[in-house]
Structure 1
Amino acid sequence: MALPESSEVPSWGRPSFRVGSGAGSRIFAVVGTHPNLPHTLVFKPDIEERRALIEDARFFSPPYAGAGGWLAIGIDPPKIDWVELAELIETSYRQVALKRQVALLGTRPSR
């Protein structure tokens, strides 16, 4: 929720994370979308990064969203690399946010 103008909105019975508000909001991450893997994160990677990520066995093309270039990763808490997960989410945000929203990332305090 530290990303500019982001919010959590329940969709399809799952938490989705969006940038913007109202009808113009855009999803940049969804949790728990795979019926056999309830603990997953779906995100939109950079097109160049997608090629490398899909070669990693931890990532898979999720039903429906995969056709649009989205990927998913299991988020089993004991095994999560939280820094990597934060990077994937921020990259996804950058893929769907407006230029002015992406520009606001530069004004955030560093972690």
Structure 2
Amino acid sequence: MDTVDRLRALCLALPETTERLSHGEPTWFVRGKKTFVMFADHHHDDRLAFWCAAPAGVQEELVAEAPERFFRPPYVGHRGWLGVYLDVPLIDWDEVAELVTDAYRHIAPKSLVERLP
């Protein structure tokens, strides 16, 4: 399974999530409306990554802690979104799953969040 397929599987496993292209990249939405994760295949740089919604303070904390793995993405970084590099030697897929789920929790309505384990 390639990188985008693994990310896709994590996103689509969440309740009422859909996928469609946005700005030429696979993007995942809650109930077809609110974006919570966007794939970034060399989008504005030469890196493979994804951008995800994040609770307040998470972006700053993770970028400061591990700038080789995390970054402030263009366009949405000012809103606290987190960029996660996927072209690093070892991707921690458990961590990616946690970040994706946290992004979903941040964007989804309470009724859907309550359906998560």
TM-score above 0.5, yes or no: yes
Q: What is the DSSP-based 3-state SS (H/G/I as helix, E as strand, rest coil) of the residue aligned with 1:9?
A: strand
In 2, Cα distance between the equivalents of 1:13 and 1:66?
19
**1:93 and 2:101 equivalent?**
no
In 2, Cα distance between the equivalents of 1:75 and 1:43?
13
**1:8 and 2:16 equivalent?**
no
* TM-score, scaled to structure 1: 0.84
In 1, Cα distance between the equivalents of 2:114 and 2:46?
35
Percent pairwise identity: 36
The answer for the alignment partner of 2:36 in structure 1 is: 28
RMSD (CA atoms): 1.6
The one-letter amino acid of 2:35's match is I
The answer for the alignment partner of 2:9 in structure 1 is: none
The answer for the alignment partner of 1:81 in structure 2 is: 92
CA contact (8 A) 1:37 1:74 kept: no
The one-letter amino acid of 2:72's match is S
Alignment coverage as a number of residue pairs: 103
Q: What is the DSSP-based 3-state SS (H/G/I as helix, E as strand, rest coil) of the residue aligned with 2:103?
A: helix
CA displacement 1:54-101 (0-9 Å, x = unmatched)? 212121111111011101011027421110001000000000000001
**1:49 and 2:58 equivalent?**
yes
CA contact (8 A) 1:61 1:71 kept: yes
In 2, Cα distance between the equivalents of 1:50 and 1:35?
19
**Structure 1 runs, 4 residues or longer, greater than 4 Å off:** none
Match of 1:40 among 35, 44, 49: 49
CA contact (8 A) 2:40 2:49 kept: yes
Quote how far apart the aligned CAs of 1:26 are. 0.5
* TM-score, scaled to structure 2: 0.80
In 2, Cα distance between the equivalents of 1:13 and 1:100?
30
